Structures are given as structure tokens and as C-alpha cells.
A and B are shown apart, each in its own frame.
Chain A
């Protein structure tokens, strides 16, 4: 399906954007943009897996924290949520979400955190790109 087939106000761009958010790269794959899907989806996947392997921590708003501490968890949680299914699979499996002092002591812990945050933020960019392509705003 080409961009020109989508009319203004169509639901298709929203579907592509949502698909791209849920499964990094899917928004472009569904539109036949294989190279973009490989580069953007691949970058997000590699970034996320590298972050986890470096012992990074996934943030969540659990309600266990009090006051300002709870608020400080919100921005990184939003960034982590950008990874879509990857985040939820880790959440279901209990991987990367626990406050583990062994992981926190690793030299690459902060790098891992950064990679996990960036994976989500890059996927937000990829998601918007898939939306724009489906809406006919980009080639």
C-alpha cells in the first residue's frame, strides 16, 4: 500500500504508529519500507538488548515510592515504555525491573540504563516516522 492511498483523517497512520510502538520496526514493515524497518527496528532492538545485557534497570511507577521520589520515576518510565512490547515482556518475565544491588554495582549499570532509555525514545521517533509515512507527509 502506498502513501497516496491513505486519505486525510484516515485511521491507517494511527495503526502504523501503534504497530511501530508495540513492535519496533513493524510500522515500517507493514508499509513495505523494509530498509527503514531494518535500520530503525534493528537500532531499537540492539539498543534495548545491549542495555539489558549491560545490567540496565527498567523504570516503573510502582506506587511504593513516596512524594517527589514517585514523580521522579515518571519521566524515565515514559522513556522505557517507548520500547513497547520489549518493555512489557521484561515486565511479565520480571527482567530488569528489580532494584538489584548486584546489577547496580556493575561498571556498565549506568550505560545499561541509558541504552534502555534511549531505545524507548528512539522508538518514539521511529513510531512518528511510520505515522508520517502512512499519512503521506514523508516519502
Chain B
């Protein structure tokens, strides 16, 4: 659970910064931030399942 919370915090912080610096309008920033957050979470969870099955 701790790992998931840390990953979520990381995704939130990075998405907030990426969303703020990468777009020009408020709506675009929020949408882009949400997209980046979702990408971090989905890719993080997918990678964690892939690594779970690796024996070393």
C-alpha cells in the first residue's frame, strides 16, 4: 500500500508540473495534467505486474 501511495504522490507532483509548464490555457493544462497523471499510474501499474512475474 505504501508503494502505491508513493507512486500516486510522485505521479501527482510530476503531472502538476508538466501540466503547468506544457500548455497555455487553463483548460488545456488541466486536461494535460490529468492525462500525464493517468499515464504515470497506468504505466506504473503495468510495469509492476510485469516485474512481479520476473523471478530475479
Contacts and interface: CB of A to CB of B under 8 A. Distances in A.
B6 A118 contact: no
A115 interface: yes
A47 B13 contact: yes
Given A107-B2, A108-B2, A115 B10 contact: yes
A126 B17 contact: yes
Interface string B1-32: 01000100110011011101100100000000
A50 interface: yes
Interface residues of A, number: 22
26 contacts: A36-B20, A39-B16, A39-B17, A39-B20, A40-B17, A40-B20, A40-B21, A43-B13, A43-B16, A43-B17, A46-B13, A50-B9, A54-B6, A107-B2, A114-B10, A115-B10, A118-B10, A118-B13, A118-B14, A122-B17, A126-B17, A126-B21, A129-B20, A129-B21, A138-B24, A139-B24
Interface in A35-66: 36, 39-40, 43-44, 46-47, 50, 54
A79 B13 CA distance: 16
Contacts of A114: 10
A122 B36 CA distance: 14
A111 interface: yes
Contacts of B20: 36, 39-40, 129
A129 B16 CA distance: 14
